[in-house]
Amino acid sequence: MQTMHALETNTTIGKAHRGRIPIMIRTLGFGTFLLPLTVFMLLVFCVPLLGVARASFYTNGTWTLSAYREFVSGALFHRALINTLSIGFMTGLISVICGYFVAYHLSRMPQRKRRLYIILVMLPFWTSILVKSFAFTVLLGTNGIINQALQAISGTNVVVPMIFNRAGVIIGMAHWLIPFSVLPILSSLLSQDKALRDAAEVMGATGMQVFWKVTFPLSLPGVLASGLMASVIGMGSFVTPSLLGGRQDLMMANLVDFYVREALDWRMASAIAVVLILLALLILSTAAFVRTRLSR
Amino acid sequence: MKKVDQSRFLTSTRRQVLSGMGAGLLAAPFVLSASKAGAADPVVMVTFGGSFADVVQKVIVDPFTKETGIAVTIANGPDLAKAKAQVQTGNLEWDVLDGSGGPLLNAAAEGLFEELDTKIIKTSDLVARATPHCMPFLIYAGGIAYDPKRTMSPAKTFADLWDDQKHPGKIGLRTRVSETLELALLADGVSPANLYPLDVDRAFAALDKVKPRVAKWIDQTPQTISLLTAGEIDYSYTYNGRVATAKKEGLSVDFSTDQALLLTQYYSVLKGSKRREQAMRYIEFACRPDIQANLAKAYASVPVRPGVLETLPDDVRAVLPSPTDPKMVLVKEEFWADKFLQLDRRFKEWLLT
Amino acid sequence: MNTLHQSAKATSRLGRPISASVLIAWLVYLFLIVPSLIVVPMSFGTSNELVFPPQQWGLDLYAKALDPAQGWLSAGGRSFVLGLIATGLALMMGVPAAYGLSRTNFFGQKALSFMLLSPIFAPTIVVALALYLYFATLHINGSMLGLVMGHAVIITPFLVVTTLSGLKHLDRNIENAAMVMGATQLQVFFRVVLPAIKGPVLSGSLFAFLLSFDEVIVSWFIARSDQPTLPVKMYSSIQWEVSPVLAAISTFLVFITVIVSLVSAFAQPENTDGF
pLDDT for residue A116: 84
**CB B111 within 8 Å of CB B271:** yes
Quote the Cα angle for A116-A117-A119, to 5°: 70
Higher pLDDT, residue C192 or B293: B293
Q: Look at A36 and C92 and tell me if their CB atoms are within 8 Å.
A: yes
Nearest to C122 among A31, A49, A130 (CB): A49
Q: Confidence band (pLDDT; 50, 70, 90) for A157?
A: confident
What's the rounded Cα separation, in Å, for the pair B26 and C137? 10
What's the rounded Cα separation, in Å, for the pair A77 and A72? 7
- Total residues belonging to chain A: 296
Residues of C in contact with A252 (CB under 8 A): 123
Residues 6+ positions from C225 with CB-CB distance below 8 Å: B46, B75, B76, B77, B93, C236
Average pLDDT (B284-302) is: 93
DSSP H or E run through C17: none
pLDDT at A215 over 60: yes
Q: Kind of pairing, strands B171-174 and B235-239?
A: parallel
Higher pLDDT, residue C200 or B93: B93
User: What domains can you pick out in chain B, each with its CATH number?
Assistant: 43-139+265-324 (3.40.190.10), 141-263+334-352 (3.40.190.10)
What's the rounded Cα separation, in Å, for the pair A69 and B149? 53
Which of A92-96, A110-114, B167-171, B253-257 comes out lowest in average pLDDT?
A110-114
pLDDT at C262 over 50: yes
- Name the region of C71 (left: φ>0; alpha: ψ -120 to 50; beta: rest): left
What's the rounded Cα separation, in Å, for the pair C265 and A225? 29
Q: Look at C238 and B222 and tell me if their CB atoms are within 8 Å.
A: yes
Q: Confidence band (pLDDT; 50, 70, 90) for C8?
A: very low
Residue of A80, A78, A75, A49 lying closest to A235 (CA atoms) = A80
Q: Confidence band (pLDDT; 50, 70, 90) for A18?
A: very low
Three-state secondary structure string covering B233-285: CCEEEEEHHHHHHHHHCCCCCEEEEEEEEEEEEEEEEECCCCCHHHHHHHHHH
Minimal Cα–Cα distance from A164 to chain B, Å? Answer: 6
B182-230: per-residue pLDDT in tens? Answer: 999 999 999 998 999 999 999 999 999 999 999 999 998 889 999 999 8
Q: Kind of pairing, strands B135-146 and B235-239?
A: antiparallel
A75-130: per-residue pLDDT in tens? Answer: 899 999 999 999 999 999 999 999 999 999 999 888 888 888 888 888 888 888 88
pLDDT for residue B232: 93
pLDDT for residue B327: 84
Whole-angstrom CA distances from A152 to A139, A155, C27, C157, C162 are: 15, 5, 21, 47, 44
What's the rounded Cα separation, in Å, for the pair A126 and B302? 40
pLDDT at A10 over 90: no
pLDDT for residue B176: 92
User: Is residue C266 exposed (0-12), middle (13-18) or buried (19+ Cβ within 10 Å)?
Assistant: exposed
**CB C193 within 8 Å of CB C101:** no
Q: Look at C225 and B86 and tell me if their CB atoms are within 8 Å.
A: no
- Cα B45 to its chain centre, rounded Å, is 15
- Total residues belonging to chain C: 275
What's the rounded Cα separation, in Å, for the pair B36 and A107? 58
Q: Look at A250 and B348 and tell me if their CB atoms are within 8 Å.
A: yes
Residue of C180, C117, B124 lying closest to A38 (CA atoms) = C117
Residues of A in contact with B79 (CB under 8 A): 261
pLDDT for residue A27: 52
pTM of the model: 0.86
What's the rounded Cα separation, in Å, for the pair C201 and A172? 28
**CB B242 within 8 Å of CB B263:** no
DSSP A41-105: HIIIIIHHHHHHHHHTTEETTEE--HHHHHHHH-HHHHHHHHHHHHHHHHHHHHHHHHHHHHHHH
pLDDT at B27 over 50: no
pLDDT for residue C159: 93
Q: Which of B25-29, C16-20, C151-155 has the highest mean pLDDT?
A: C151-155
Whole-angstrom CA distances from B158 to B149, B302, B347, C113 are: 20, 21, 19, 56
**CB B352 within 8 Å of CB A79:** yes
What's the farthest any 2 CA atoms get from each other in chain A?
Answer: 74
Selected residue of A17, A45, A137 to mutate for chain C interface (largest C Cβ count, 10 A): A45
C160-177: per-residue pLDDT in tens? Answer: 988 887 787 777 788 888
Buried b (16+ CB within 10 A) or exposed e, A262-294: bbbbbbbbbbbbbbbbebbeebbeeeeeeeeee
Minimal Cα–Cα distance from A39 to chain B, Å? Answer: 7
Q: Look at B103 and A263 and tell me if their CB atoms are within 8 Å.
A: yes
Q: Which chains touch A (3 or more CB pairs under 8 A)?
A: B, C
Residues 6+ positions from B124 with CB-CB distance below 8 Å: B130
Q: Which of A289-293, B58-62, B87-91, C269-273 has the highest mean pLDDT?
A: B58-62
Residue B250: φ, ψ to 5°: 90, 10
Residue A113: φ, ψ to 5°: -65, -40
Residues 6+ positions from A252 with CB-CB distance below 8 Å: A77, A80, A81, A83, A84, A235, A272, A275, A276, C123
User: What domains can you pick out in chain A, each with its CATH number?
Assistant: 21-46+58-295 (1.10.3720.10)
DSSP chain A: -HHHHHHHHHHHHHHHHHHHS-HHHHHHHHHHHHHHHHHHHIIIIIHHHHHHHHHTTEETTEE--HHHHHHHH-HHHHHHHHHHHHHHHHHHHHHHHHHHHHHHHHHTS-HHHHHHHHHHHHGGGGS-HHHHHHHHHHHHSTTSHHHHHHHHHH-S------SSSHHHHHHHHHHHHHHHHHHHHHHHHHTS-HHHHHHHHHTT--HHHHIIIIIHHHHHHHHHHHHHHHHHHHHT--HHHHHH--TT---HHHHHHHHHHTS--HHHHHHHHHHHHHHHHHHHHHHHHHHHHHH-
Residues 6+ positions from B120 with CB-CB distance below 8 Å: B277, B280, B281, B283, B284
Residues of B in contact with C234 (CB under 8 A): none
C105-135: per-residue pLDDT in tens? Answer: 788 888 898 899 999 888 888 899 899 989 9
Which of B154-168, B190-204, C34-48 comes out lowest in average pLDDT?
C34-48
DSSP conformation class of C269? P
Q: Which of A190-204, A205-219, B257-271, C3-17 has the highest mean pLDDT?
A: B257-271
Q: Confidence band (pLDDT; 50, 70, 90) for C224?
A: confident
Minimal Cα–Cα distance from B47 to chain C, Å? Answer: 10
pLDDT for residue A28: 56
Average pLDDT (A24-46) is: 81
Average pLDDT (B40-64) is: 90
Q: Confidence band (pLDDT; 50, 70, 90) for B312?
A: very high
What's the rounded Cα separation, in Å, for the pair B272 and B88? 10
Handedness of CA A265, A271, A275, A276 (dihedral sign): positive
pLDDT for residue A24: 45
pLDDT for residue A190: 83
Which of A283-287, B197-201, B216-220, C78-82 comes out lowest in average pLDDT?
A283-287
B212, closest residue in chain A (CA to CA): A247
What's the rounded Cα separation, in Å, for the pair A260 and C128? 10
Residues of A in contact with C264 (CB under 8 A): 115
Residues of B in contact with A60 (CB under 8 A): none
Residues 6+ positions from A285 with CB-CB distance below 8 Å: C110
Higher pLDDT, residue A197 or A43: A43
pLDDT for residue B11: 35
Selected residue of A142, A164, A259, A261 to mutate for chain B interface (largest B Cβ count, 10 A): A164
**CB B253 within 8 Å of CB B228:** yes
Minimal Cα–Cα distance from C178 to chain A, Å? Answer: 11
Q: Look at A130 and C238 and tell me if their CB atoms are within 8 Å.
A: yes
What's the rounded Cα separation, in Å, for the pair A185 and A219? 7
Residue A38 carries which side chain, given as an amino acid letter?
Answer: T
The pLDDT > 70 percentage for chain A reads 89
What's the rounded Cα separation, in Å, for the pair C252 and A126? 9
pLDDT for residue B17: 41
Residues 20-39 of B with CB under 8 A from A: 21, 25
pLDDT for residue A225: 82
Write down the mean pLDDT value for chain C: 84
Confirm or reject contact between B4 and chain A (CB < 8 A). Answer: no
pLDDT for residue A295: 67
Average pLDDT (C226-247) is: 81
What's the rounded Cα separation, in Å, for the pair A154 and A135? 24
Q: Look at C25 and A13 and tell me if their CB atoms are within 8 Å.
A: no
Residues 6+ positions from C177 with CB-CB distance below 8 Å: none
pLDDT for residue A91: 95
Q: Which of B15-24, C198-207, C236-245 has the highest mean pLDDT?
A: C198-207
pLDDT at A9 over 80: no
What's the rounded Cα separation, in Å, for the pair C173 and A172? 44
**CB C257 within 8 Å of CB C213:** no
Residue of A101, A133, A97, A128 lying closest to A117 (CA atoms) = A101
What's the rounded Cα separation, in Å, for the pair B43 and B230? 42
pLDDT for residue B87: 94
C112, closest residue in chain B (CA to CA): B10
**CB A219 within 8 Å of CB C166:** no
The pLDDT > 70 percentage for chain C reads 88
Average pLDDT (A141-146) is: 90
Write down the mean pLDDT value for chain B: 87
Average pLDDT (A37-56) is: 92
What's the rounded Cα separation, in Å, for the pair C123 and A253? 6
Residues 6+ positions from C244 with CB-CB distance below 8 Å: C42, C43, C45, C47, C48, C49, C50, C51, C61
Chain B, chain C: beta-carbon pairs less than 8 Å apart: 108
Nearest to C239 among B52, B225, B250 (CB): B52
Higher pLDDT, residue C264 or B307: B307
pLDDT for residue C75: 92
Residue B149: φ, ψ to 5°: -75, -30
Handedness of CA A114, A226, C213, C247 (dihedral sign): positive
pLDDT at A17 over 70: no
DSSP conformation class of B133? S
What's the rounded Cα separation, in Å, for the pair A88 and A220? 20
A234-250: per-residue pLDDT in tens? Answer: 998 888 999 999 999 99
User: What domains can you pick out in chain C, each with its CATH number?
Assistant: 20-58+241-275 (no CATH), 72-236 (1.10.3720.10)
- Total residues belonging to chain B: 353
pLDDT for residue A55: 86
Nearest to C93 among A37, A98, A222 (CB): A37
pLDDT for residue A16: 41
- C56 SS3 class: coil
**C-alpha R_g of chain A:** 24
pLDDT at B34 over 60: no
Q: Look at A264 and B106 and tell me if their CB atoms are within 8 Å.
A: yes
Confirm or reject contact between B16 and chain A (CB < 8 A). Answer: no
Three-state secondary structure string covering B309-328: HHHCCHHHHHHCCCCCCCCE
